[in-house]
Amino acid sequence: MAAGIGILRFPDVLTRLHAATKPQVLGLAVVLLAITLRVPTWGVLSTVILIMTFQLLTQPMTAHMLGRAAYRSDHVRRDLLIEDDLGRDIEEHDREQDAAR
């Protein structure tokens, strides 16, 4: 519910991404904890640990790649950015490419 409210309430892609990823990981952790408490076996515990590990490894990468794609396709409100590190890096890379030619 928190993710849904955040997606509807926030103004741009990057803040909506934040709203969608944080509660999702927390919700999954709570559900996996409940499963572990309900069926406390080593098999269930090892499966829960694997699921949570893969989720914690892949979710930030997914959000990063979606945010980067949104930035490059101009779906980000640049007036809401406090610091535009990616824009600065892209401009620097473009200058280096022009100098190399």
pLDDT, the chain, mean = 88
Cα pseudo-dihedral 12, 13, 14, 16, rounded to 10:
90
Q: Is the pLDDT assigned to residue 93 strictly greater than 90?
A: no
Provide the number of structural domains found in the chain: 1
Domain hosting 25: range is: 1-100
For residue 36, the model assigns a pLDDT of 96
Provide mean pLDDT across the span 85-98. 86
pTM score of the predicted model: 0.67
> What whole-number distance in Å separates Cα of residue 58 and Cα of residue 90?
25
Q: What is each CA distance from 21 to 57, 60, 62, 63, 86, in whole angstroms?
A: 12, 8, 9, 7, 21
